[in-house]
């Protein structure tokens, strides 16, 4: 009787412990992330944004249904990330929907509504054995907060240097950033202020239409002529100076300097030498001239020097050249034009992590200098391993295209083309401020400062990365990074400038999540098809045979044991 009571008490105790653990687990969630790339660990900036929620954000994910293995990983990874969001915040809800469910009429109506809302469908080729099926999908999540709807494209556009599996891996790496960024946009009650400078031969309105259109979606955008204002107000969060071609006066530079000293942020997009491909259309050779922008001393004070030369790179875009005649028509072929590098990043900085290459035209390169102020510099964009430079004066012609390039002569790798400086900066006008400058400051209720608060400055040694092509006849403009000869768009141009602005002016940005790199462990398709029978047997047949052998052995062992017991 005593043993019976003890046994029941033990059972009740075990059941009580299990019940207690289940109650605790219902209210407190925990997990251990043992993955190499910490795919199940959210960045702190994402957690901070989730903790700001006090109203429900509902995600409609349009990725329900059957997909190939790569898209299944995207589907499952999206679900995993949203589950992590829901663990951090009770205000996260999500559902998965299939836009291709229902009658043909219902599907078509749904597709029209989604397209009207700006969701662009993707044609997915599904391979099943030897058959190919085309499937239209909408790889989007829609974040709903009150009346706000934010469409989030979960699928990165295919890059020429990546296959589909790598592109999917890139898309999965960016899921946390994209979904967290959707929440951040939904929470946004006011927009930051971005100014674009004019008055010094900068890119025209036509040439910055693509940039302005992008910025209007997320920021208040305005133009400012430095010749007409004594100071830049504190309300301006960031100033973009896009490819000026005329010199800045001392008054202009003082205005820029004091804007920085008061915490303003500037992106300088500068050409050091005046040059364009159009300059060579009517000449056999061209000698470009250095541009005198009168900004050298200001940039030097902040720790930058743009060298008067061009970067040449074997990783570049192509231009057309006539190679002969076929009847009355010229034969045209595209040749690599080393003066138009495709610049990339070798940094894991959140501005440039996982972005496409950036298309450039006649870029120079940057030397970073030590300054007495405490600012740190990060090289964001570089030339490739196979690059070199030409310093002015130099002669440029198309003869270079006649010869096969010698890689050993492209021996100046990773030349810096875009550099970010963060921290404190010293004023260029320290100990040299005149009375007129002080009067201008007082008129705006500001005092002269010789040292900045914590801020940031970016210098890009090519103004063309934010220039768009413009057709005057149709009034249409091309997207940033569009290459008219190759007829393709390099999305790195758009992502680079948007990420740069977001990083510099938004202290609570979720860009850090871009730095995650999640690797897809893909099957070797050729090997998988070749060894399909072996792996099917190993995974299905072998366990069954093992179970059968264990059953036979166990039966024989029990039989012998029973016979021995009877004999005894």
**CA distance linking residue 118 with residue 243, whole number of Å:** 32
Mean pLDDT confidence for 187-203: 92
Cα angle value 533/537/540 (rounded, 5°): 130
What is the distance of C-alpha 510 from the center of its chain?
Answer: 12
Pairing label, strands 219-225, 238-242:
unpaired
**CA distance linking residue 291 with residue 294, whole number of Å:** 9
Q: Are 239 and 499 contacting, i.e. CB atoms less than 8 angstroms apart?
A: no
- pLDDT score, position 213: 92
DSSP state of 539: I
Mind listing the pLDDT tens digit for each residue in 42-76?
888 888 888 888 989 999 998 888 777 778 888 89
Mind listing the pLDDT tens digit for each residue in 208-235?
999 999 999 889 999 999 999 888 988 9
Q: Where are the domains of the chain?
A: 31-185, 192-509
Mind listing the pLDDT tens digit for each residue in 279-316?
777 777 788 989 999 999 999 999 999 999 999 999 99
Mean pLDDT of the chain: 85
- pLDDT score, position 305: 96
Mind listing the pLDDT tens digit for each residue in 488-509?
999 899 999 999 999 999 877 7
This prediction has a pTM of 0.77
Reduced to 3 states (helix: H, G, I; strand: E, B; else coil), residue 22 is helix
Cα angle value 513/518/523 (rounded, 5°): 165
Which helix (H) or strand (E) element contains residue 560? helix 542-567
Tokens representing 290 are 């250095």
**CA distance linking residue 204 with residue 493, whole number of Å:** 18
**CA distance linking residue 13 with residue 423, whole number of Å:** 60
Least confident of 45-59, 70-84, 434-448: 434-448
Class for the domain spanning 31-185: alpha beta
**CA distance linking residue 567 with residue 559, whole number of Å:** 12
Contacts for 550 with CB less than 8 Å, ≥ 6 apart: none
**CA distance linking residue 438 with residue 458, whole number of Å:** 27
Q: Is the pLDDT of residue 520 over 50?
A: no
**CA distance linking residue 169 with residue 165, whole number of Å:** 6
- pLDDT score, position 552: 85
Q: In terms of pLDDT, which residue wins out, 291 or 518?
A: 291
Q: Is the pLDDT of residue 376 over 60?
A: yes
Q: What single string gives the DSSP state of each residue in 161-181?
A: TS-HHHHHHHHHHTHHHHHHH
DSSP state of 490: -
Q: Residue 375 — φ and ψ, nearest 5°? A: -120, 145
Q: In which residue are the tokens 């179970």 written?
A: 547
Q: What single string gives the DSSP state of each residue in 333-380?
A: EEEEEEEEEEEB--S--TTTTTPPPEE-SS---EEE---SS-EEEEEE
């Amino acid at each position: 009787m005593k043993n019976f009571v003890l046994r029941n008490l033990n059972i009740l105790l075990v059941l009580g412990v299990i019940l207690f653990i289940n109650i605790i687990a219902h209210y407190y969630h925990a997990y251990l992330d043992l993955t190499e790339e910490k795919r199940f660990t959210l960045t702190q900036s994402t957690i901070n944004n989730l903790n700001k929620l006090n109203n429900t954000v509902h995600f409609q994910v349009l990725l329900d249904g059957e997909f190939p293995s790569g898209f299944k990983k995207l589907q499952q990874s999206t679900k995993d990330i949203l589950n992590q969001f829901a663990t951090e915040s009770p205000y996260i809800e999500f559902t998965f929907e299939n836009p291709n469910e229902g009658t043909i009429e219902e599907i078509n109506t749904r597709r029209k509504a989604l397209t009207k809302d700006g969701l662009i469908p993707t044609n997915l080729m599904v391979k099943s054995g030897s058959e190919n099926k085309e499937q239209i999908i909408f790889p989007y999540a829609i974040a709903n907060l009150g009346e706000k709807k934010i469409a989030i494209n979960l699928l990165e556009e295919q890059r020429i240097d990546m296959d589909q599996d790598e592109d999917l891996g890139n898309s999965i790496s960016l899921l946390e950033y994209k979904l967290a960024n959707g929440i951040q946009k939904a929470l946004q009650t006011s927009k930051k202020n971005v100014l674009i400078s004019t008055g010094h031969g900068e890119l025209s309105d036509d040439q910055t239409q693509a940039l302005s259109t992008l910025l209007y979606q997320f920021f208040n955008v305005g133009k400012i002529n430095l010749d007409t204002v004594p100071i830049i107000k504190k309300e301006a969060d960031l100033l973009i100076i896009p490819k000026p071609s005329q010199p800045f006066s001392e008054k202009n530079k003082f205005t820029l300097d004091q804007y920085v000293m008061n915490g303003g942020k500037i992106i300088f997009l500068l050409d050091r030498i005046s040059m364009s491909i159009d300059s060579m259309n009517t000449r056999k050779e061209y000698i470009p001239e250095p541009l005198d922008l009168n900004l050298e001393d200001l940039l030097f004070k902040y720790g930058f020097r743009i060298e008067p030369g061009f970067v040449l790179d074997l990783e570049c875009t192509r231009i057309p050249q006539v190679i002969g005649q076929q009847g009355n028509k010229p034969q045209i072929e595209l040749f690599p034009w080393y003066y138009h590098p495709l610049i990339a990043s070798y940094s894991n900085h959140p501005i440039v992590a996982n972005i496409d290459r950036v298309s450039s035209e006649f870029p120079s390169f940057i030397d970073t200098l030590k300054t007495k102020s405490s600012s740190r510099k990060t090289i964001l964009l570089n030339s490739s391993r196979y690059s070199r430079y030409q310093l002015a004066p130099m002669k440029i012609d198309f003869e270079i295209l006649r010869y096969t390039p010698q890689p050993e002569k492209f021996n100046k790798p990773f030349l810096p083309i875009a550099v970010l400086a963060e921290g404190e900066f010293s004023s260029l006008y320290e100990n040299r401020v005149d009375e007129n400058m002080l009067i201008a400051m007082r008129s705006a209720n500001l005092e002269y400062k010789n040292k900045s608060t914590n801020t940031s400055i970016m210098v890009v040694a090519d103004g063309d990365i934010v220039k768009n092509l413009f057709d005057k006849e149709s009034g249409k403009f091309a997207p940033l990074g569009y290459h008219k000869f190759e007829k393709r768009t390099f999305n790195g141009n758009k992502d680079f400038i948007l990420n740069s602005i977001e990083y510099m002016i938004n202290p609570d940005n979720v860009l850090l999540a871009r730095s995650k790199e999640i690797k897809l462990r893909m099957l070797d398709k050729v090997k998988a098809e070749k060894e399909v029978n072996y792996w099917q047997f190993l995974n299905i047949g072998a366990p069954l045979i093992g179970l059968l052998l264990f059953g036979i052995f166990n039966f024989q062992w029990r039989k012998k044991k029973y016979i021995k017991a009877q004999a005894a």
